[in-house]
A and B are shown apart, each in its own frame.
Chain A
Amino acid sequence: MERPAWAPPGIDISVPSVSRIYDYYLGGSHNFEVDREAARKAMEFVPGLPKVMQANRAFMRRAVRYAVDEGITQFLDIGSGIPTFGNVHEVAQSADPAARVLYVDHDPVAVAHSRAVLEGNENAGVVAADLRKPQDILDSPEAGRLLDPDRPVALLLVSVLHFVEDADEPHRAVAELRDALAPGSLLIISHAAYEGMPLPQERVGGAVGVYRDIRNPLVMRTRAEIARFFDGFALVDPGLVKMPEWRPENPVDQEDPYAFSGFAGVGRKA
C-alpha cells in the first residue's frame, strides 16, 4: 500500500544519508558506519571530495557575508543538512545578531539535529520540507515566523540542486521560490559538475554511481544548465564561476585543485 501524503517518511539509519556523508567529509562525527562506508567508497574514486566540500563551505561563508554586507537580514537555507560549524546562522548572526535564518531539509535526522543545535536561538528555525515542494516551505509556520516576505531574502541552494533530478523539475521549483521572493533578494547556488574536476570523467562517474546506489542520485549539470537556475536574477560579479574564484579571500593559486570542481554564483532578483 502506498504511504498517504500526510504520513511522514520512516527513519532508517541503515540507509546512508547525504547530509551525514557530507558531515563525514568535513571531519565530523555526526554520522554512522553506513554513511562513512558510502563516503569512503566515493572517496576511492574521488579522493579530494573533502576539499570540494570545504571549498563549498568557504564559498557559502563568503556569500553569506556578502549578503549581510548588502543589507540582507533574512536567510532561507534549503538543503541545510547537519549543522556542524560555520553554518549560515553562525556566519550571519556573527555579522548581524538580528539576522534571521530558516533551515530546510527533508532528512528527518538532519532536521532533528538542527532543532537541537538551534534550541534557544529565537532568530533561527528549521522546517522539515522538500525543495521539490516549494509551497510547503513557503507556507510553513516557521517561514511565517522568521521571514518577512516583503523584504529581501538570501535564498541558499548550496550543494542541493544536484540532488534534484530533472524529472522533479528543479528549475520550476527555483522559479516558484523566486516568485515568492521580494525584489532585491539574493539567490546563492553551488552545484556539482564534471567540469573542473582534476580527474577523468569516468573516475568521477564512479563517485556518482555511489550516490545512485544509495538512492540519492547526484545530477551533474553543465554550466549552462546551472546558469538557467538564475532566470529572473542578475548574477552579481564575478558571475557563475569555480567556487574559489567567487570573491576569493585566499590567493586562488594556493587552493587545492579539487576546490575548482563545480560552479557557484549569486544572483539578485530585480
Chain B
Amino acid sequence: MPAQAPGSAAEPDGLEDRLQRFATIWSRAVFPVTATSLTRPEIERHLLPLARDLSDALHGRPFDPAPAHRVGAALVAAHCTDPDALSRSLGVVDSYLVLYCGGDGEPEELRARCARLQHALAAGFAQALRERTLVEQEAIARSALVARTFAEQALHATEARFRAVFEGAALGIGIADLDGNVLEVNGALTRMFGGLEHHVRGRKVSEWVHPEDAPHVWKLYGELVRGERDDFRVEKAFYRGDGTVLWTNLTVSLLRDADGVPQYQLALMEDTTERRLLNLRLRYEATHDALTGLPNRTLFFERLDKVLSSGDGTRFGLCYLDLDGFKAINDSLGHAAGDRLLVEVADRLQSVATRPGEMVARLGGDEFVALTTGTDTEQQADELAHRILGALATPVRLDGRELTVRGSVGIVEGPAGERGPAEVLRSADITMYRAKAAGGNRFERADPEADARAITRHGLTTALPAALDRGEFFIEYQPLVHLGDGSVHGAEALVRWCHPQHGVLGPDRFIPLAEHTGLIVPLGRWVLQEAVRQARFWNRSHADGGPLRINVNLSPTQLHHPNLVADTVDVLERSGLDPGALCLEVTESALIGADEDLLKPLRQLADMGVDIALDDFGTGYSNLANLRRLPVSVLKLDRSFTQSMQQHPIDPVDLKIVEGIVSLAHSLELAVTVEGVETGAQAEQLRELGCDTAQGWYYARPGAPDRIHSLVLADAV
C-alpha cells in the first residue's frame, strides 16, 4: 500500500510545500540546459507531479522503483534531452529528495531507496532518449526518403517531358560523345535519314563527310569537340542510307558538365532538302525562259556582267540575233505556231553554241543572244555568227509547211573591263538593226561611229523629258521684216536645246524625237507660253511702234492634240496678248488631206483672230484649190524658192512661179512671207514680186529677245 506522507498539504512546511520547493530547485537546475521554449515556472509546474511520484516511490510498500523510470522518460518528453539535464536531475534527487520528502523513515533505507530511484530515473531517461532519438532519426530519414522520392518523381516527370520533346520534335536531334560516336537520335532525325535507326545510331560523326561540305565545316567541328567553341551552324549535306542526299541546316552545340568540362555534342538538324530543291527550281525558273528553256535575260545579264567585270585579258564576243519577218509569221500562222518556231530556233542555237564559254539566251520575243568568251573572240564571234545563220538555213517544218527562217545578227566583240552589259547590248542591238537595214539574213560587226550616231539619237530621246524639267530649252527669235518699208513686223520663235554634253542643238535634232515620244505637246506648250509672254513684253515696251507679231510653230502632233484650242486660249488670256498678234505656223504637209475635224480647231483659232500660216509652202503637192477652204491667212514660201533666186541669171521660170503663187495668194487674200533671204538683191526681187514679209540672214539671224528689241529701236529711229 502507498506510504502515508507525513504532514498535511495545506500546512506550511507540510509535504506539499516541501514538494513545491523540491520542484523549484529541480527546475532551476535543469532550466539552463533545456532547449524548450517554455518558461522556467512552466517547467516547474511540469516537474511538480514528477516530484510527487518520486516522493511516493520513496515511501512505497513494497518498494518499487518503476515510477522513477517513468520520471526519467517524462524529462525527455519535456524536451530536457541534454545529458546535463539528467545529471542535474540526479544531483537534485540525490541531495534533496530524502531531505525534503524523507519524513521520519529509516535513513539507511531511505538512502538506499533514493539511490535505486536514481538508477531507475537514469535508466528511464536513457531508454526514452534512445527511443526518441531512434524515432526522430527514423522520421527524418523517412522524410529525406520521401523528399527524394518526390524529387525523383518530379525529375522523372521532367525527363519524361524532355523525352516527349526529344521524340516529338520536328527537328532532328542527335547526341554524340566527343569521339563522334552517335549515342542517341530522335525519330525526326531517323526519318530524315530514311527511317532506319541503324543508319544513324552507333555510327561515327566523321563518317558523314560529304563532297559538298563547305571547307570550314570540319574545322568548326574540330574546334567544338576540342572545347574551343560552344556551337556552330552550317548548311550541310548527308548521304542517306539509300545513297540519296539529305540537305540540312545543322546546329551543333557542345554540352558541358557542371564543372564546364565538355561531355557531349548535341546536333539539331532541320531538313532543308525540299526547300533547297524548291529554291533551285525557283532559281531555275527565275533565270530561264519558260517557252524555250534557254537562259533568260536575267541569267544572261548575270553572265555578261561577270564576263565584263573580269580582268586578266578576257575578251568577249556577243551575237545579237533577231529573226527577220517573225512578226509576219506570228500574224499569219498564229502565236502557237510562232512559239513552236521559237522553240525550234532555240534548239538549233543551243546545238551550235556548245563550245566552252559559249552560252545562248533568249532575251524576249524573237531576240536571242549568244555569248562567247576567251582570248581570240574576234574570230570566235564571227564563227559563232556563221554557225547561227547556218543553223537557221534549213527550213523549219511547221504544220506540214516548210518555213524559211532568216535572221539578222549584230556582233559586238572586245576586251572585258571597258563597257558595262547595258552598253554592250545596246551596241549589239544597233548593229543588228544595221544588219536588218542592209537586207537581213546577215551579220554586221559593231562600228563605233555608227554606234555613236545611234547612241546620240537614243541618248537625246531619253534625255528629253528631264531636259524640259531642268529648263535646258530656250527660244531664239528671228525678225520678220516688212518688205515694203523694211520695218520689223514681228519675229518667229525658234526653240533651241542647250544640251549639257552636246551644246546648243537646233530643232531639227530633237523636234522629230519629241514628236515621236509625245514630248512635243508639253514642249510646244512651253514654247507658246514663252513666246507669247515675250511678245506681250515687247508690245508693252513699244506700244508706239505698232504691235509686234509673234510666229510660233505647231507640229502635227500638237495639231491633233485635243487641248490645242483651250491651251492656246489659256496662254493668250494669261499673258493678255491680243490674239491678232499671234501667228501659228503649220506645215503644208500636216494639212495635206486634212478633214474638217482636223481643221476645226484651226478655224476656231482663226475666228478668234489668230493668224494661221501655211509653212514650207511649195514642198508638198498641194491642191491649190484646197487653199480656199483652209483657215489660213499667210503663206510662207519654202526657202527653196529664195535659194533659186540666188542664181545668176535667175531662171525666169522660177520667177514666174513665185509671181504666180504671190498673185494666187493675194487673190485669196493671203499674205506672203518668204524665208531664207540672204542678200539685198534677193530682197529687192521678192519685194518687186509682191511678197509682203521676209525673214533671213540678210536681216538678222535668230537671236536673243533683246536683239529684236534693238532692231525695233533701230526701226523707230
Contacts and interface: CB of A to CB of B under 8 A. Distances in A.
A binds B: yes
Interface of A: 1, 4, 6-11, 13, 20, 25-32, 50, 53-54, 57-58, 60-61, 82, 85-86, 108-113, 115-116, 249-250, 254, 256
A108 B147 contact: yes
Interface in B390-442: none
Contacts of B36: 54, 85-86
Interface string B20-55: 000000000000101111111100000000000000
Given A86-B36, A112-B144, 8 more contacts: A11-B144, A27-B34, A27-B35, A28-B35, A50-B35, A86-B38, A108-B151, A116-B146
A144 to B, nearest CB: 21
Contact of B140 (A4, A27, A31): A31
A240 to B, nearest CB: 20
Interface residues of B, number: 30
A28 B39 contact: no
B79 A8 contact: no
B37 A86 contact: yes
Contacts of A26: 35, 79
A113 B35 contact: no
Given A1-B255, A54-B37, A10 B137 contact: no
A116 B143 CA distance: 8
Contact of B147 (A25, A85, A109): A109
Nearest to A25: B35
Contacts of B656: none
Kindly name the residue among B39, B143, B148 whose own CB sees the greatest number of chain A CB atoms within 10 A. Answer: B143
17 contacts: A6-B158, A13-B144, A27-B34, A28-B81, A29-B137, A30-B136, A30-B139, A31-B140, A32-B144, A57-B37, A85-B36, A108-B151, A116-B142, A116-B143, A250-B40, A250-B41, A254-B40
Contacts of A6: 158
Contact of B150 (A60, A112, A113): A112
B610 to A, nearest CB: 90
A29 B255 contact: no
B140 A20 contact: yes
A27 B85 CA distance: 11
A50 B37 CA distance: 12
Nearest to B79: A85
Interface string B140-169: 101110111011001100100000000000
Nearest to A254: B40
Interface in B339-379: none
Contacts of A58: 37, 39
Interface of B: 32, 34-41, 79, 81-82, 132-133, 136-137, 139-140, 142-144, 146-148, 150-151, 154-155, 158, 255
Contacts of B158: 4, 6-7
Contact of A112 (B32, B137, B143, B255): B143
A2 to B, nearest CB: 10
Contacts of A8: 150-151, 154-155
B139 A113 contact: yes
Contacts of A13: 144, 148
Nearest to A108: B147
Contacts of B150: 8, 108, 112
A29 B158 CA distance: 33
A53 B35 contact: yes
Nearest to B142: A116
A236 to B, nearest CB: 20
A170 to B, nearest CB: 25
Chain B contact residues: helix, strand, loop or mixed: helix
A8 B139 CA distance: 22
B39 A250 contact: yes
Contacts of B143: 30, 109-110, 112-113, 116
Contacts of B139: 30, 113, 116
B140 A82 contact: yes
Contacts of A113: 139-140, 143
A7 B201 CA distance: 29
B155 A7 contact: yes
Contact of B37 (A1, A4, A60, A256): A60
Contacts of A109: 140, 143-144, 147
Nearest to A7: B158
A20 B133 CA distance: 14
A61 B144 contact: no
Contacts of B132: 29
B147 A28 contact: no
- A-B pairs with the 5 shortest C-beta distances? A113-B143, A29-B136, A108-B147, A57-B37, A11-B148
B207 to A, nearest CB: 27
A61 B37 CA distance: 7
Nearest to B148: A11
B42 to A, nearest CB: 9
Contacts of A32: 140, 144
Nearest to B146: A112
Kindly name the residue among A6, A86, A112, A256 whose own CB sees the greatest number of chain B CB atoms within 10 A. Answer: A112
A29 B140 contact: yes
Given A29-B136, A30-B140, A112 B35 contact: no
Kindly name the residue among B39, B140, B150, B158 whose own CB sees the greatest number of chain A CB atoms within 10 A. Answer: B140
Contacts of B151: 8-11, 108
Nearest to A114: B143
Contacts of A9: 151
A11 B147 contact: yes
Contacts of B155: 7-8, 10
Contacts of A7: 154-155, 158
Kindly name the residue among A8, A60, A86 whose own CB sees the greatest number of chain B CB atoms within 10 A. Answer: A8
B35 A111 contact: no
Contacts of A1: 255
Given A11-B151, A54-B35, A27 B81 contact: yes
A107 B38 CA distance: 27
Nearest to A61: B37
Contacts of B79: 26-27, 85
Kindly name the residue among B41, B81, B151 whose own CB sees the greatest number of chain A CB atoms within 10 A. Answer: B151
A10 B38 CA distance: 36
Nearest to A53: B35
Contacts of A108: 147-148, 150-151
A29 B133 contact: yes
Contacts of A115: 146
Kindly name the residue among A86, A108, A256 whose own CB sees the greatest number of chain B CB atoms within 10 A. Answer: A108
A57 B79 CA distance: 13
B138 to A, nearest CB: 9
Nearest to A32: B140
A11 B139 CA distance: 16
B665 to A, nearest CB: 105
Contacts of A116: 139, 142-143, 146
A50 B81 CA distance: 13
Nearest to B255: A1
Contacts of A50: 35
Kindly name the residue among A1, A25, A27 whose own CB sees the greatest number of chain B CB atoms within 10 A. Answer: A27
A37 to B, nearest CB: 15
Nearest to B80: A27
Contacts of A31: 140
A22 B434 CA distance: 106
A200 B140 CA distance: 35
Contacts of B81: 27-28
Kindly name the residue among B35, B142, B154, B255 whose own CB sees the greatest number of chain A CB atoms within 10 A. Answer: B35
Given A29-B136, A82-B140, A249 B39 contact: yes
Nearest to B136: A29
Contacts of B136: 28-30
